[in-house]
Each structure stands twice: as structure tokens, then as C-alpha cells.
A and B are shown apart, each in its own frame.
Chain A
Amino acid sequence: MARRETPEINAGSMADIAFLLLIFFLVTTTMNVDSGISKKLSEKPPADYVPPVIKEKNIFEVNINRNNELLVEGERMNVKELKDAAVKFIDNGGGEGKIEDGVSTGPCDYCKGERSINSSDHPNKAIISVQSDRGTDYGTYIIVQNELLKAYTDLRNRLSQERYRMSFTELEKAYSDDKNNEELKKKVEDIKLAYPQIISDAEPTSAN
């Protein structure tokens, strides 16, 4: 009977209340980080801008029509084959690289392509041009962009593996963990320069 004489405040349900709140916040918490395909738009050209003349063979043309079908270099293609076709084009290395600050980058010595004279000269000259219809599905557009980026990633990984014994993905991750490491920065820039991503969006064909 001694217990009844000194009653305590019953805190037993405190845990229940706290749990309830906990579960509410657990459910409403979104910790997902926003991720996506990042792209840098080209600057607005001045009114009197004359586009440079680019050789036909250095352009890889991808067309997507309003029925979400692909036309690559004038031929119909399944999206599954796009990556390999893009790799083949970028890695061709059939000629001299572009001239930067008066210094020629010379022929591509790390390319493993066919060195055909009918395909791109050098990865830094190879331009991928994507033209889509206004009525094309955004989903398809993203798939195509993604496949093209995959082609670059593959090539960069390969080169990075050869030069630095680690894939480019690992290299970039190591760099983002250690931003002040000049050596890593140089490696990343080197690979990026060897296979620059040049994907341009052509004016869309109009849908009525």
C-alpha cells in the first residue's frame, strides 16, 4: 500500500507521443538529393555572328522525329545502337586536331577508332548535333542525351584507366572529395580536354 501514498505522474505514454511525432517526421522527410543531366547552354550569339564552317564529316547528326524515332547520319537506328555509333564517331581520329592558341593538337594518338577519312578528325573537333521535333517526347530526348553522354563517359573511362589506372568516374569522385588537390585537378582536366563533350542542339523542326 506504500506505493499509493506517493503517486507519480504517469510518463508511460510519453514514449508513445514521441513515437507518433517521430513517425510523422520520418514519413514527411525527403532526403533525396536533386539530380539530373546538367547542361551548359551556349551564349546568345551577337546579331552579326557568322557560324564557322564545319566539315560535314565532323558532325554526327542525330534527328528525332515527332514519333520518337531516331535518324542517325541519315539512317534509321534503334536507340540501343546509338551509344556504339557515337563512340565510333568520336573515337575515329582520322585527321588533325583543332588548332588551339596557334598550337596544333596534332592527330589523336589515344584514339582507337578506324581512322576513316569519312568520319571525325579528332575528338575535339567531333560535334554531335541533336535535332528534335517540337513534338518529340521529352522522355525520348533525355534518353538520347543520356546515350550520347554514356558514349563520352565510356571513352573517358577508358583513357583514364590507361593513363592513371583508375576510371574517370573514380577520378572525378576523388577530386570532388578533395577539391584542393592540384594533381587530381590536372588529371581531370586532362581527360576532359582529351574527350570534350560537344553536344549541340540544333533548331527544332516545327510541328503543326
Chain B
Amino acid sequence: MSKFKKRKKGIPAVNTAALPDIVFMLLFFFMVTTTMRETSLQIDTPALPSATEVKKLEHKSLVSTIYIGKAKDEKYGVGYNKIQLNDKIASSDQVPAFIINARTKVSDAEVPFMTTSIKADKQSSVGTIIDIRLKLRDVNALKVSYSTNTGSDIK
């Protein structure tokens, strides 16, 4: 009997001492994988079009992004054709400088693999895209990716 009693008394509580460790491990994982947005958007987050034939963009460091959409600040005017380079609203004339600046950050061997990702709103007009495309061609930045969501837009 005495043996039985002893055991009952000694039922241990579930040990939660390792719980913080587990949580911390998860925490560090997310801390390391988190990428904070490096540029603050001066335009409303573009409503990207959807497409099915998409390719993933690899090598983030070789991608420079151009945003097109509606300016948050009304002093730039309304309409969905404002271009944002880095963190300023710009015009298409500044695209070559933007690309050349991006090139200085990578080694010469990697320059041909650089991609320009165009994140444009569905309601932007093709004219703006074409202006940018012509400028990109001028500086020989020929790889372009039109950023889209995956899915289908056809009703």
C-alpha cells in the first residue's frame, strides 16, 4: 500500500519548461526568413492581373522592380499611370538611370541575368508599359517580367 500511495503523490505535472525553447526556435526561424519591404510604396498597392503561364523569378538580388499604379499622394495627380522607381514617383525618362544604378550593385558577369519586374495595376494603360519597355531596350535591359498573380481573369 505504501508503495502505491507514494506513486500517487508523485504524479508529475506536464513539464512545460521546454515550451519557451520551442517557441523561441520558431520565433528565430520566422525572424530570419522575414523580409521587410525595402521600399515604401508611394502608390496604392497595385491590383496585379492574373495569369496562368507564370514563371517564378529567381535570384532576388538580380531583380529590380518598377511599380505602376495610382499615386497615394494626390499632388502627383490621379490616374493609374504613375511610375515609382526606388521610393520616388518618377517619369519614364528616369528608367535608364534606375537600371544603370541597379547594375552597379552586381558583378559584371551577372548583368545579363538581371530582370526587371514590372508590377503594374490592372487599370494602368499599355502606353505607360510601352514607354518603359522602350527605355529598357535603350539600356539593353532585355529581360522583363510582368508580375502577376496566379489564377485566371477570364470570366
Query: Chain A interface (Cβ within 8 Å of chain B)?
Result: 11, 14-15, 18-19, 21-22, 25-26, 28-31, 33-44, 64, 79-80, 132-139, 141-143, 145-146, 149-150, 153, 201, 204, 207
Q: Do B126 and A25 touch (CB < 8 A)?
A: no
Q: Mark B24-61, 1 if CB is under 8 A from A, else 0.
A: 10110011011111000000000001011111110010
Task: Give the residue name and chain of the A residue nearest to B63 (CB).
Answer: A34
Query: Chain B interface (Cβ within 8 Å of chain A)?
Result: 16-17, 19-20, 23-24, 26-27, 30-31, 33-37, 49, 51-57, 60, 63, 68, 115, 117-118, 120-130, 133, 136-138, 140-148, 150, 153-154
Q: Do A36 and B54 touch (CB < 8 A)?
A: yes
Q: Do A138 and B122 touch (CB < 8 A)?
A: yes
How far does the alpha carbon of A137 sit from the alpha carbon of B121 in the complex, in Å? 9
Q: Do A134 and B146 touch (CB < 8 A)?
A: no
Task: Give the residue name and chain of the A residue nearest to B143 (CB).
Answer: A40
- Which B residues touch A141, using CB under 8 A? 126, 129
- Which B residues touch A150, using CB under 8 A? 52-53
Please, could you name 17 A-B residue pairs with CB atoms under 8 Å apart, sorted by A? Answer: A11-B20, A29-B33, A36-B54, A36-B117, A37-B146, A37-B148, A40-B143, A40-B144, A41-B133, A41-B137, A41-B141, A42-B137, A133-B127, A136-B125, A138-B49, A142-B51, A146-B53
- Which A residues touch B115, using CB under 8 A? 38
Q: Do B23 and A15 touch (CB < 8 A)?
A: yes
- Which B residues touch A34, using CB under 8 A? 56-57, 60, 63, 117, 145, 147
